[in-house]
């Protein structure tokens, strides 16, 4: 009998940590950019979006991993989509019932989690070939890496675009009196792309593993 | 790769779909009352906001029940009129306000026009009417509170489903809504002129104009149209009350 692998073996921990930096879904794999552009105008919806993706991705990963030997390969993508869509609708319904304000803010974007390529990517690339526990950790790790980036991008966009952080005014009134103005461009999606670009630039500059050899 | 028979593939798909469908409909049924209550409370809160009667909501322990109590205490009366300005018996104003879209699709003569009355011993009665229109990306709606001269706006609340963040979505900020206070619906000779949203900024003493939002022109125009379309049917009633 082979020795049972401990729950938090180095291999499993790696699944959790790698997406936070070396293999970040947004800045390295460049997945899930659409969501990063759309809902990062303010921090609050970004946090809810991050949590929703966390729930959807980790649960879907476990479900697919449990079913992986039963799913006929020919219809596996459809099966994955059905599982994701189910989770997303559940999250949406629960938000509407228990967090109405937030669900109003996120509006259509909760539904759009279904089309988030990150989730499909993890189900197809990882959960189909691994046991439930590693799949769960992989889901958590990737969603955390994704959510972290959303919140970082939202931080800068909210600060520069609206002068607030988490809805609280942080730029003092005297700045505005002295001629400072909120940058309306930060609120529009193109600036999210620019912010993500700058983050990628900084990350690649600091993390040697990501520097490609030419 | 294992080979699955066609029969297996079909049965797998069917079973999966049935399980998912059962789960979702069960959850939807379970959560429905809660969701409907949320929508209702949201509407009550908006009505209260249009007359600035929201004191204490932030500190309230149970936000939902507090809003319901506040609504029951402050909105003393509600009734339904028709476009000729006559009272209609037997219709519930709040039920119409909840399904305003369906009501607005009916021909004008058959439409019920809900009015809510906020009574205040100091400021006198104020009359609140719901409005609904099409914005740039989705519906926009709101509540207009009118003083007991049936002419001067005492407050407005606007909301939207999907207007552009930072541009059209600014219609629900105080910065946009506050200037509506004190604007007049009728001109000096008593004609209905509604309130217009002026691009480039309204004159400070213009009784019928407020500042538009730069970059939010389409939403602002839609809002202007919404005000005109939804307030116009009330004109006969307002005029009757004025005389």
Cα B223 to Cα A157, B60, B214, B229: the distances in Å are 27, 32, 14, 10
Token pair, residue A138, equals 């992989």
Total domains in the fold of chain A: 1
Categorize the per-residue pLDDT at B64 as very low, low, confident or very high, splitting at 50, 70 and 90.
confident
Residue A200 in contact with partner chain B when CB distance is under 8 A: no
CB of B144 within 8 A of CB of B131? yes
Q: Which residues of chain A make contact with B35, given a CB cutoff of 8 A? A: 93, 96-97, 100
Q: Which residues of chain B make contact with A97, given a CB cutoff of 8 A? A: 31, 34-35, 38
Q: Which residues of chain B make contact with A78, given a CB cutoff of 8 A? A: 13
| Cross-chain Cβ contact B13/A79 below 8 Å | yes
| Cross-chain Cβ contact A96/B31 below 8 Å | yes
Quote the percentage of chain A above a pLDDT of 90: 36
Which chain A residue has the Cα nearest residue B9?
A: A72
Which has more confidence, B60 or B141?
A: B141
The shortest C-alpha distance from A5 to chain B (Å) reads 26
The shortest C-alpha distance from A39 to chain B (Å) reads 10
Average pLDDT over residues B39-64: 83
pLDDT higher than 90, residue B7: yes
Looking at residue A66, its pLDDT comes to: 94
Can you give the three-state secondary structure of B3-71, one letter per residue?
A: CCCHHHHHHHHHHHHHHHHHHHHHHHHHHHHHHHHHHHHHHHHHHHHHCCCCCCCCCCCCHHHHHHHHH
Looking at residue A214, its pLDDT comes to: 60
Count of alpha carbons within 13 Å of A99, Cβ hemisphere only? 16
Average pLDDT over residues B214-235: 90
Which chain A residue has the Cα nearest residue B166?
A: A187
Cα B85 to Cα B113, B132, B234: the distances in Å are 9, 20, 7
In chain B, what is the straight-line distance between the N-terminal and C-terminal CA atoms, in Å?
85
What are the tens digits of pLDDT across the range B174-204?
Answer: 888 888 988 889 888 888 888 888 888 888 7
Looking at residue A58, its pLDDT comes to: 93
The CA distance from B4 to A199, in Å, is 46
Which has more confidence, A100 or B139?
A: B139
Task: Look at residue B210 and give its three-state secondary structure.
Answer: strand
Q: At what angle do helices B6-50 and B63-74 cross, to 10 degrees?
A: 40
Cβ neighbours of B98 (radius 10 Å): 17
Average pLDDT over residues B43-67: 82
CB of A16 within 8 A of CB of A141? yes
Quote the percentage of chain B above a pLDDT of 70: 98
The CA distance from B39 to A169, in Å, is 29
Looking at residue A195, its pLDDT comes to: 92
pLDDT higher than 60, residue A123: yes
Q: Which residues of chain B make contact with A108, given a CB cutoff of 8 A? A: 162
Q: Does A25 fall in a domain?
A: no
Categorize the per-residue pLDDT at B18 as very low, low, confident or very high, splitting at 50, 70 and 90.
very high
Residue A52 in contact with partner chain B when CB distance is under 8 A: no
Lowest-confidence pick of A24-28, A83-87, A144-148, B12-16: A24-28
Q: Does A141 fall in a domain?
A: yes
Nearest CB to A161; choose among B28, B42, B166: B166
The shortest C-alpha distance from B221 to chain A (Å) reads 21
Q: Does A126 fall in a domain?
A: yes
Which chain B residue has the Cα nearest residue A71?
A: B12
Looking at residue B225, its pLDDT comes to: 92
| Cross-chain Cβ contact A86/B34 below 8 Å | no
Cα A58 to Cα A42, A61, A103, A132, A138: the distances in Å are 25, 5, 21, 10, 8
pLDDT higher than 70, residue B2: no
Nearest CB to B20; choose among A75, A82, A97: A82
The CA distance from A186 to A159, in Å, is 9
Q: Domain range holding A200?
A: 34-210
CB of B168 within 8 A of CB of B160? yes
| Cross-chain Cβ contact B35/A73 below 8 Å | no
State chain A's mean pLDDT as an integer. Answer: 86
Nearest CB to A97; choose among B1, B8, B38: B38
- For CA atoms B20, B25, B31, B37, the dihedral sign is positive
The CA distance from A129 to A131, in Å, is 7
Beta bridge partners, B86, equal: none
CB of A26 within 8 A of CB of A32? yes
Q: Which residues of chain A make contact with B38, given a CB cutoff of 8 A? A: 96-97, 100
Q: Does A16 fall in a domain?
A: no
Looking at residue A4, its pLDDT comes to: 65
CA B94 remoteness from chain centre: 11
Non-local (6+) Cβ contacts of B69 within 8 A are none
| Cross-chain Cβ contact B17/A82 below 8 Å | yes
Average pLDDT over residues A190-196: 90
The CA distance from A125 to A142, in Å, is 12
pLDDT higher than 50, residue A83: yes
Phi, psi of B75 (to 5 degrees): -90, 95
pLDDT higher than 50, residue A1: no
Nearest CB to B166; choose among A41, A90, A107: A41
| Cross-chain Cβ contact A161/B12 below 8 Å | no
Nearest CB to B165; choose among A41, A86, A98: A41
Q: In this structure, what is the dihedral angle of CA atoms B197, B40, B77, B84, given to the nearest 10 degrees?
A: 50
Q: Does A102 fall in a domain?
A: yes
Non-local (6+) Cβ contacts of B170 within 8 A are B176, B213, B216
Count of alpha carbons within 13 Å of B96, Cβ hemisphere only? 24
Which has more confidence, A169 or A82?
A: A82
Average pLDDT over residues A48-66: 92
Q: At what angle do helices A117-125 and A132-162 cross, to 10 degrees?
A: 160
Looking at residue B1, its pLDDT comes to: 54
- Write down the H helix ranges in chain A: 10-17, 33-38, 43-67, 76-98, 100-106, 108-111, 117-125, 132-162, 173-177, 189-206
The shortest C-alpha distance from B12 to chain A (Å) reads 8
pLDDT higher than 90, residue B71: no
Average pLDDT over residues B89-114: 85
Average pLDDT over residues A39-57: 88
Lowest-confidence pick of A121-125, B45-49, B146-150, B163-167: B163-167
Lowest-confidence pick of A93-107, B124-138, B214-228: A93-107
pLDDT higher than 70, residue A3: no
Full DSSP string of A53-110: HHHHHHHHHHHHHHHTTTS-GGGHHHHHHHHHHHHHHHHHHHHHHH-HHHHHHHTHHH
């Amino acid at each position: 009998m082979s020795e049972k692998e401990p729950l938090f073996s180095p291999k499993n921990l790696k699944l959790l940590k790698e997406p936070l930096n070396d293999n970040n879904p947004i800045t390295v794999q460049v997945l899930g950019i659409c969501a990063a552009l759309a809902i990062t105008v303010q921090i609050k919806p970004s946090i809810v979006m991050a949590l929703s993706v966390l729930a959807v991705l980790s649960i879907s990963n476990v479900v697919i991993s449990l079913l992986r030997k039963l799913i006929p390969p020919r219809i596996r993508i459809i099966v994955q989509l059905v599982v994701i869509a189910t989770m997303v609708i559940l999250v949406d319904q629960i938000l509407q019932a228990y967090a109405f304000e937030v669900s109003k803010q996120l509006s259509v974007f909760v539904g759009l989690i279904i089309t988030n390529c990150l989730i499909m990517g993890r189900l197809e690339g990882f959960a189909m070939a691994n046991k439930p526990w590693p799949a769960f950790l992989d889901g958590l790790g990737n969603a955390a890496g994704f959510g972290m980036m959303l919140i970082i991008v939202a931080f800068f966009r909210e600060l520069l675009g609206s002068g607030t952080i988490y809805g609280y005014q942080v730029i003092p009134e005297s700045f505005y009196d002295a001629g400072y103005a909120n940058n309306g461009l930060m609120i529009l999606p193109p600036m999210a792309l620019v912010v993500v670009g700058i983050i990628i630039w900084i990350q690649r500059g600091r993390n040697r593993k990501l520097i490609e050899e030419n | 790769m294992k080979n699955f028979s066609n029969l297996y593939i079909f049965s797998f798909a069917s079973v999966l779909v049935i399980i998912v469908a059962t789960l979702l409909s069960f959850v939807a049924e379970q959560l429905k009352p809660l969701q409907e209550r949320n929508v209702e409370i949201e509407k009550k809160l908006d009505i209260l906001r249009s007359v600035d009667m929201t004191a204490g909501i932030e500190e309230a322990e149970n936000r939902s029940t507090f809003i319901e109590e506040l609504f029951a205490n402050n909105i003393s009366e509600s009734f339904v009129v028709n476009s000729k300005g006559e009272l209609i018996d037997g219709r519930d104003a709040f039920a119409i306000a909840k399904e305003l879209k369906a009501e607005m699709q009916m021909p004008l003569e058959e439409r019920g026009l809900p009015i809510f009355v906020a009574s205040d011993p100091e400021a006198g009665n104020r009359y609140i009417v719901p409005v609904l229109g099409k914005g740039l990306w989705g519906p926009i709606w709101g509540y207009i509170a009118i003083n007991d001269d049936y002419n001067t706006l005492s407050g407005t609340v606007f909301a939207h489903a999907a207007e552009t963040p930072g541009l059209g979505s600014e219609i629900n900020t105080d910065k946009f809504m506050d200037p509506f206070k004190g604007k007049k619906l009728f001109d000096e000779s008593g004609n209905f002129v509604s309130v217009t949203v002026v691009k480039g900024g309204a004159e400070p003493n213009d009784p019928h104009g407020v500042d538009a939002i730069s970059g939010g022109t389409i939403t602002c125009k839609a809002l202007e149209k919404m005000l005109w379309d939804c307030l116009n049917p009330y004109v006969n009633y307002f005029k009757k009350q004025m005389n």
